[in-house]
Amino acid sequence: MSRTSNATDGDVVRDFLSVADLLEEPRLAQLYAYLAREGEATVRDVMTDIELAQGTAYSYVNRLVDAGVVEVTHDEQPQRYAAREIDLTVTTATGNREYTITPSLVDAVGRRETDDDIDIYIDRHGVAGLATALTYAVARERAEVTHRLMAEDLDISPLAAEMILQALRPVVHEYYDIDESGASLDELDIDDRDVADDA
Amino acid sequence: MSTLHITDTGLFVAMGQPSNSRYQAVRHFARRNDVTFVLPERVYEELTVNDPDIEAPPVDTAIDEGWTTVAAPLEYSDPIVSRAMDGVQRYIANADGRPADDVERADAALAALAAQHLSAGTATDVYIYTTDIAAGEGAETVLASEGYGDSVTFVNGFRFIEDLRSCEG
Protein backbone atom coordinates (compact mmCIF):
# COMPACT_ATOMS: atom_id res chain seq x y z
CA MET A 1 0.00 0.00 0.00
CA SER A 2 2.45 2.53 -1.19
CA ARG A 3 1.04 6.01 -0.69
CA THR A 4 0.25 7.53 -4.02
CA SER A 5 -1.59 10.63 -5.10
CA ASN A 6 -4.95 8.88 -5.15
CA ALA A 7 -4.75 7.94 -1.49
CA THR A 8 -7.24 9.57 0.79
CA ASP A 9 -6.27 10.96 4.15
CA GLY A 10 -8.40 8.32 5.83
CA ASP A 11 -6.31 5.58 4.27
CA VAL A 12 -3.12 7.19 5.40
CA VAL A 13 -4.33 7.36 8.98
CA ARG A 14 -5.55 3.79 8.87
CA ASP A 15 -2.23 2.60 7.46
CA PHE A 16 -0.34 4.46 10.06
CA LEU A 17 -2.31 2.98 12.93
CA SER A 18 -2.15 -0.54 11.62
CA VAL A 19 1.52 -0.39 10.84
CA ALA A 20 2.22 1.11 14.24
CA ASP A 21 0.38 -1.88 15.74
CA LEU A 22 2.54 -4.24 13.74
CA LEU A 23 5.69 -2.71 15.10
CA GLU A 24 4.37 -2.68 18.65
CA GLU A 25 3.41 -6.33 18.65
CA PRO A 26 6.17 -8.68 17.52
CA ARG A 27 3.73 -11.59 17.15
CA LEU A 28 1.64 -9.61 14.65
CA ALA A 29 4.81 -8.55 12.86
CA GLN A 30 5.91 -12.17 12.73
CA LEU A 31 2.60 -13.21 11.20
CA TYR A 32 2.71 -10.40 8.64
CA ALA A 33 6.27 -11.37 7.69
CA TYR A 34 5.23 -15.01 7.36
CA LEU A 35 2.42 -14.09 4.95
CA ALA A 36 4.75 -11.80 3.01
CA ARG A 37 7.19 -14.69 2.61
CA GLU A 38 4.65 -17.39 1.81
CA GLY A 39 2.65 -15.35 -0.68
CA GLU A 40 -0.61 -16.98 0.43
CA ALA A 41 -1.64 -19.10 3.38
CA THR A 42 -4.64 -20.45 5.25
CA VAL A 43 -5.20 -20.08 8.97
CA ARG A 44 -4.31 -23.75 9.31
CA ASP A 45 -0.93 -23.05 7.65
CA VAL A 46 -0.39 -20.22 10.10
CA MET A 47 -1.20 -22.49 13.04
CA THR A 48 1.27 -25.14 11.88
CA ASP A 49 4.06 -22.98 10.58
CA ILE A 50 4.30 -20.37 13.27
CA GLU A 51 2.76 -22.38 16.05
CA LEU A 52 -0.25 -20.33 17.00
CA ALA A 53 -3.31 -21.76 18.71
CA GLN A 54 -6.43 -21.75 16.52
CA GLY A 55 -8.17 -18.92 18.39
CA THR A 56 -5.06 -16.76 18.38
CA ALA A 57 -4.36 -17.44 14.72
CA TYR A 58 -7.91 -16.36 13.71
CA SER A 59 -7.81 -13.31 15.92
CA TYR A 60 -4.41 -12.16 14.61
CA VAL A 61 -5.32 -12.74 10.96
CA ASN A 62 -8.56 -10.80 11.43
CA ARG A 63 -6.74 -7.92 13.07
CA LEU A 64 -4.34 -7.71 10.15
CA VAL A 65 -7.24 -7.85 7.66
CA ASP A 66 -9.14 -5.16 9.57
CA ALA A 67 -6.03 -3.03 9.59
CA GLY A 68 -5.75 -3.40 5.83
CA VAL A 69 -2.26 -4.88 5.71
CA VAL A 70 -3.51 -8.37 4.88
CA GLU A 71 -6.17 -9.27 2.32
CA VAL A 72 -8.38 -12.27 1.68
CA THR A 73 -7.33 -13.75 -1.64
CA HIS A 74 -9.64 -16.74 -1.74
CA ASP A 75 -13.02 -16.29 -0.17
CA GLU A 76 -14.27 -19.87 -0.13
CA GLN A 77 -13.34 -22.25 2.67
CA PRO A 78 -10.60 -22.56 3.52
CA GLN A 79 -9.96 -18.86 3.08
CA ARG A 80 -6.53 -17.83 1.96
CA TYR A 81 -4.71 -14.68 3.02
CA ALA A 82 -1.88 -12.63 1.59
CA ALA A 83 0.16 -9.70 2.87
CA ARG A 84 -0.33 -6.36 1.15
CA GLU A 85 2.73 -4.29 0.46
CA ILE A 86 3.65 -1.75 3.03
CA ASP A 87 5.79 1.17 2.09
CA LEU A 88 5.12 3.95 4.48
CA THR A 89 7.43 6.71 5.56
CA VAL A 90 7.03 7.86 9.12
CA THR A 91 8.66 10.55 11.18
CA THR A 92 9.79 9.75 14.69
CA ALA A 93 8.05 11.29 17.68
CA THR A 94 10.88 13.73 18.17
CA GLY A 95 10.38 14.73 14.56
CA ASN A 96 14.03 14.68 13.63
CA ARG A 97 14.19 11.39 11.78
CA GLU A 98 12.31 9.68 9.03
CA TYR A 99 12.26 6.04 8.16
CA THR A 100 10.33 3.79 5.84
CA ILE A 101 8.38 0.83 7.08
CA THR A 102 8.85 -2.04 4.66
CA PRO A 103 8.04 -5.74 4.90
CA SER A 104 11.68 -6.45 5.72
CA LEU A 105 11.59 -4.02 8.65
CA VAL A 106 8.35 -5.52 9.94
CA ASP A 107 9.98 -8.96 9.68
CA ALA A 108 13.06 -7.75 11.55
CA VAL A 109 10.92 -6.32 14.34
CA GLY A 110 8.95 -9.59 14.51
CA ARG A 111 12.20 -11.42 15.21
CA ARG A 112 12.74 -9.62 18.51
CA GLU A 113 10.58 -12.34 20.06
CA THR A 114 13.21 -14.94 19.30
CA ASP A 115 16.39 -12.92 18.89
CA ASP A 116 17.92 -11.22 21.93
CA ASP A 117 20.29 -9.07 19.89
CA ILE A 118 17.40 -7.53 17.94
CA ASP A 119 15.35 -7.14 21.11
CA ILE A 120 18.13 -5.29 22.93
CA TYR A 121 18.87 -3.13 19.91
CA ILE A 122 15.26 -1.98 19.68
CA ASP A 123 15.23 -1.25 23.42
CA ARG A 124 18.29 0.96 23.01
CA HIS A 125 17.70 2.57 19.62
CA GLY A 126 14.00 2.17 18.89
CA VAL A 127 12.36 0.88 15.72
CA ALA A 128 13.78 3.89 13.86
CA GLY A 129 17.25 2.79 14.97
CA LEU A 130 16.58 -0.74 13.78
CA ALA A 131 15.45 0.65 10.42
CA THR A 132 18.81 2.41 10.12
CA ALA A 133 20.69 -0.74 11.11
CA LEU A 134 18.77 -2.67 8.45
CA THR A 135 19.91 -0.26 5.74
CA TYR A 136 23.50 -0.83 6.89
CA ALA A 137 22.93 -4.60 6.91
CA VAL A 138 21.80 -4.46 3.27
CA ALA A 139 24.73 -2.22 2.31
CA ARG A 140 27.19 -4.51 4.06
CA GLU A 141 25.97 -7.61 2.22
CA ARG A 142 26.38 -5.60 -0.98
CA ALA A 143 30.02 -4.89 -0.02
CA GLU A 144 29.39 -1.17 0.36
CA VAL A 145 30.11 -0.71 4.07
CA THR A 146 31.78 -2.56 6.91
CA HIS A 147 30.65 -3.00 10.49
CA ARG A 148 33.31 -0.48 11.51
CA LEU A 149 31.95 2.25 9.27
CA MET A 150 28.49 1.66 10.69
CA ALA A 151 29.90 1.83 14.23
CA GLU A 152 31.62 5.10 13.48
CA ASP A 153 28.58 6.65 11.79
CA LEU A 154 26.22 5.67 14.60
CA ASP A 155 28.64 6.11 17.47
CA ILE A 156 28.29 2.56 18.78
CA SER A 157 31.04 0.00 19.42
CA PRO A 158 32.18 -2.03 16.40
CA LEU A 159 31.23 -5.15 18.32
CA ALA A 160 27.66 -3.89 18.86
CA ALA A 161 27.47 -3.06 15.15
CA GLU A 162 28.70 -6.52 14.16
CA MET A 163 26.15 -8.17 16.49
CA ILE A 164 23.13 -6.39 15.03
CA LEU A 165 24.39 -6.79 11.46
CA GLN A 166 24.65 -10.54 12.01
CA ALA A 167 21.21 -10.67 13.62
CA LEU A 168 19.71 -8.86 10.61
CA ARG A 169 21.59 -10.81 7.96
CA PRO A 170 18.89 -13.50 7.54
CA VAL A 171 16.32 -10.75 6.94
CA VAL A 172 18.54 -9.17 4.28
CA HIS A 173 18.93 -12.46 2.45
CA GLU A 174 15.21 -13.14 2.71
CA TYR A 175 14.16 -9.89 1.03
CA TYR A 176 17.09 -8.92 -1.18
CA ASP A 177 18.70 -10.85 -3.94
CA ILE A 178 22.38 -10.87 -3.04
CA ASP A 179 24.97 -13.28 -4.39
CA GLU A 180 27.28 -15.22 -2.09
CA SER A 181 30.81 -13.92 -2.06
CA GLY A 182 34.14 -15.18 -0.81
CA ALA A 183 35.70 -18.60 -1.08
CA SER A 184 33.87 -21.70 0.06
CA LEU A 185 35.47 -24.36 2.21
CA ASP A 186 36.09 -26.51 -0.87
CA GLU A 187 38.13 -23.75 -2.45
CA LEU A 188 40.50 -23.54 0.48
CA ASP A 189 43.75 -25.30 -0.17
CA ILE A 190 43.43 -27.26 3.02
CA ASP A 191 43.08 -30.97 2.96
CA ASP A 192 40.28 -30.86 5.46
CA ARG A 193 39.82 -34.33 6.81
CA ASP A 194 36.33 -35.56 7.29
CA VAL A 195 35.01 -35.49 10.81
CA ALA A 196 34.44 -39.23 10.73
CA ASP A 197 38.17 -39.76 10.24
CA ASP A 198 39.23 -38.34 13.52
CA ALA A 199 36.24 -39.28 15.58
CA MET B 1 54.96 -23.70 2.69
CA SER B 2 53.30 -21.83 5.49
CA THR B 3 49.78 -20.55 5.55
CA LEU B 4 48.49 -17.68 7.63
CA HIS B 5 44.85 -17.57 8.74
CA ILE B 6 43.88 -13.97 9.55
CA THR B 7 40.57 -13.56 11.30
CA ASP B 8 38.23 -10.60 11.69
CA THR B 9 35.73 -9.77 14.42
CA GLY B 10 32.76 -11.16 12.52
CA LEU B 11 33.97 -14.75 12.52
CA PHE B 12 34.19 -14.75 16.31
CA VAL B 13 30.77 -13.15 16.67
CA ALA B 14 29.29 -15.70 14.27
CA MET B 15 30.73 -18.63 16.23
CA GLY B 16 28.85 -17.76 19.39
CA GLN B 17 29.82 -19.10 22.79
CA PRO B 18 31.88 -22.27 23.37
CA SER B 19 28.71 -24.25 24.07
CA ASN B 20 27.52 -23.39 20.56
CA SER B 21 27.97 -25.97 17.82
CA ARG B 22 29.28 -23.26 15.48
CA TYR B 23 32.13 -22.47 17.88
CA GLN B 24 32.86 -26.17 18.23
CA ALA B 25 32.85 -26.68 14.47
CA VAL B 26 35.45 -23.95 13.97
CA ARG B 27 37.60 -25.23 16.85
CA HIS B 28 37.39 -28.73 15.45
CA PHE B 29 38.43 -27.47 12.01
CA ALA B 30 41.43 -25.66 13.55
CA ARG B 31 42.54 -28.68 15.53
CA ARG B 32 42.21 -31.32 12.87
CA ASN B 33 44.04 -29.16 10.30
CA ASP B 34 46.59 -27.73 12.69
CA VAL B 35 45.39 -24.21 11.95
CA THR B 36 45.93 -21.24 14.25
CA PHE B 37 43.72 -18.22 13.62
CA VAL B 38 45.55 -14.93 13.96
CA LEU B 39 43.81 -11.73 15.06
CA PRO B 40 45.26 -8.33 14.22
CA GLU B 41 45.68 -6.37 17.48
CA ARG B 42 42.87 -3.98 16.58
CA VAL B 43 40.50 -6.86 16.01
CA TYR B 44 41.36 -8.31 19.39
CA GLU B 45 40.67 -4.93 21.00
CA GLU B 46 37.31 -4.78 19.24
CA LEU B 47 36.33 -8.22 20.46
CA THR B 48 37.23 -7.52 24.06
CA VAL B 49 35.52 -4.13 24.41
CA ASN B 50 33.54 -3.69 27.58
CA ASP B 51 29.94 -3.19 26.49
CA PRO B 52 27.29 -4.07 29.09
CA ASP B 53 24.71 -4.78 26.36
CA ILE B 54 26.78 -7.47 24.76
CA GLU B 55 27.87 -10.92 25.71
CA ALA B 56 31.55 -10.80 24.81
CA PRO B 57 32.69 -13.31 22.19
CA PRO B 58 34.88 -16.04 23.72
CA VAL B 59 38.11 -14.92 22.11
CA ASP B 60 40.18 -15.39 25.26
CA THR B 61 38.86 -18.92 25.60
CA ALA B 62 39.99 -19.68 22.04
CA ILE B 63 43.42 -18.20 22.84
CA ASP B 64 43.68 -20.29 26.03
CA GLU B 65 42.68 -23.36 24.05
CA GLY B 66 45.62 -22.67 21.75
CA TRP B 67 43.95 -22.33 18.34
CA THR B 68 43.81 -18.54 18.20
CA THR B 69 46.51 -15.97 18.76
CA VAL B 70 46.95 -12.20 18.60
CA ALA B 71 49.43 -10.82 16.06
CA ALA B 72 52.34 -8.61 17.04
CA PRO B 73 51.84 -4.91 16.21
CA LEU B 74 52.00 -4.06 12.51
CA GLU B 75 55.31 -2.79 11.17
CA TYR B 76 54.20 0.44 9.57
CA SER B 77 57.78 1.25 8.65
CA ASP B 78 57.57 -1.56 6.10
CA PRO B 79 56.44 0.24 2.91
CA ILE B 80 54.19 -2.61 1.75
CA VAL B 81 52.33 -2.50 5.07
CA SER B 82 51.42 1.15 4.71
CA ARG B 83 50.64 0.72 1.00
CA ALA B 84 48.25 -2.14 1.79
CA MET B 85 46.70 -0.09 4.56
CA ASP B 86 46.13 2.95 2.32
CA GLY B 87 44.97 0.80 -0.58
CA VAL B 88 42.27 -0.98 1.38
CA GLN B 89 41.09 2.25 2.98
CA ARG B 90 40.72 3.76 -0.49
CA TYR B 91 38.97 0.64 -1.77
CA ILE B 92 36.38 0.66 1.02
CA ALA B 93 35.91 4.42 0.82
CA ASN B 94 35.26 4.08 -2.89
CA ALA B 95 32.57 1.45 -2.39
CA ASP B 96 30.69 3.84 -0.16
CA GLY B 97 31.62 7.18 -1.73
CA ARG B 98 33.26 8.61 1.35
CA PRO B 99 36.76 10.05 1.95
CA ALA B 100 39.45 7.39 2.54
CA ASP B 101 40.50 9.11 5.76
CA ASP B 102 37.11 8.26 7.23
CA VAL B 103 37.65 4.54 6.86
CA GLU B 104 38.52 2.80 10.10
CA ARG B 105 42.07 1.51 9.99
CA ALA B 106 41.10 -1.82 11.50
CA ASP B 107 39.35 -2.68 8.22
CA ALA B 108 42.70 -2.34 6.49
CA ALA B 109 44.71 -4.07 9.22
CA LEU B 110 43.70 -7.49 7.84
CA ALA B 111 45.34 -6.80 4.49
CA ALA B 112 48.29 -5.01 6.09
CA LEU B 113 49.08 -8.02 8.28
CA ALA B 114 48.86 -10.27 5.22
CA ALA B 115 51.20 -7.98 3.26
CA GLN B 116 53.73 -7.92 6.09
CA HIS B 117 53.98 -11.70 6.23
CA LEU B 118 53.96 -12.26 2.49
CA SER B 119 56.71 -9.75 1.84
CA ALA B 120 58.82 -11.05 4.74
CA GLY B 121 58.37 -14.60 3.47
CA THR B 122 56.95 -15.81 6.79
CA ALA B 123 53.80 -16.86 4.90
CA THR B 124 53.31 -18.05 1.34
CA ASP B 125 49.53 -18.19 1.47
CA VAL B 126 47.05 -16.12 3.41
CA TYR B 127 43.39 -16.70 4.14
CA ILE B 128 41.37 -13.75 5.41
CA TYR B 129 38.21 -14.71 7.28
CA THR B 130 35.82 -11.79 7.56
CA THR B 131 32.10 -11.05 7.44
CA ASP B 132 32.76 -7.64 5.85
CA ILE B 133 32.76 -8.41 2.15
CA ALA B 134 34.18 -4.98 1.32
CA ALA B 135 37.17 -5.61 3.61
CA GLY B 136 37.74 -9.12 2.21
CA GLU B 137 37.45 -8.13 -1.43
CA GLY B 138 39.47 -4.99 -0.78
CA ALA B 139 42.30 -7.07 0.69
CA GLU B 140 42.28 -9.42 -2.31
CA THR B 141 42.27 -6.56 -4.80
CA VAL B 142 44.99 -4.51 -3.15
CA LEU B 143 47.30 -7.47 -2.53
CA ALA B 144 46.80 -8.63 -6.11
CA SER B 145 48.12 -5.23 -7.22
CA GLU B 146 51.20 -5.95 -5.10
CA GLY B 147 51.73 -9.21 -6.98
CA TYR B 148 50.16 -11.51 -4.39
CA GLY B 149 46.98 -12.30 -6.29
CA ASP B 150 47.46 -16.05 -6.05
CA SER B 151 48.45 -15.98 -2.42
CA VAL B 152 45.49 -14.25 -0.78
CA THR B 153 41.98 -15.65 -0.42
CA PHE B 154 38.99 -13.92 1.15
CA VAL B 155 36.87 -16.43 3.05
CA ASN B 156 33.35 -15.27 3.90
CA GLY B 157 33.02 -16.01 7.62
CA PHE B 158 29.34 -16.95 7.40
CA ARG B 159 29.85 -19.25 4.48
CA PHE B 160 32.86 -20.86 6.15
CA ILE B 161 30.84 -21.77 9.25
CA GLU B 162 27.86 -22.94 7.20
CA ASP B 163 30.15 -25.15 5.11
CA LEU B 164 31.79 -26.62 8.20
CA ARG B 165 28.43 -27.38 9.74
CA SER B 166 27.00 -28.94 6.62
CA CYS B 167 29.94 -31.33 6.32
CA GLU B 168 29.64 -32.21 9.98
CA GLY B 169 25.86 -32.46 9.71
Domain boundaries of chain B, sorted by first residue: 3-168
Nearest CA in chain A to B150: A189
Do A1 and A17 contact (CB within 8 A), yes or no? no
- Among partner residues A120, A158, A169, which is closest to B46 by beta-carbon distance? A158
Decide: A79 and A43 in contact? Cβ < 8 Å. yes
Q: Provide, rounded to the nearest whole percent, the portion of chain A with pLDDT above 90.
A: 46
- pLDDT of A199 above 50: no
Q: Which residue has the higher pLDDT, A66 or A35?
A: A35
Partner-chain contact B33 A163, CB within 8 Å = no
Best of A124, A162, A176, A194 to substitute, by most chain B Cβ atoms within 10 angstroms, is A162
pLDDT for the residue numbered A5:
36
- Mutation for B interface: A117, A118, A123, A146, most B CBs within 10 A: A146
Share of chain B above pLDDT 70, in %: 98
Q: What is the mean pLDDT of residues A38-67?
A: 90
In this prediction the pTM is 0.86
Interface contact B116, partner A, CB < 8 A: no
Q: pLDDT tens digits for B81-132?
A: 999 999 999 999 998 888 888 777 888 999 999 999 999 999 999 999 999 9
Domains of chain A: residue spans and CATH? 9-83 (1.10.10.10), 88-175 (no CATH)
pLDDT value, residue A197: 43
Mean of pLDDT over chain A: 84
CB-nearest partner of B103 from A149, A183, A189: A149
B119-129: pLDDT as tens digits:
999 999 999 99
Which residues in chain B have Cβ-Cβ distances shorter than 8 Å to A158? 9, 46, 49, 104, 106
Using CB atoms, pick whichever of B56, B154, B163 lies closest to residue A185: B163
Chain B residues touching A182 at Cβ < 8 A? 133, 136, 154-156, 159-160
* CATH for the stretch B3-168: 3.40.50.1010
- pLDDT tops 90 at residue B156: yes
**Residues B154, B139: contact at Cβ < 8 Å?**
yes
Residue by residue, DSSP assigns A12-68 as: HHHHHHHHHHHHH-HHHHHHHHHHHHHSSB-HHHHHHHTT--HHHHHHHHHHHHHHT
- For residue A22, what pLDDT is reported? 77
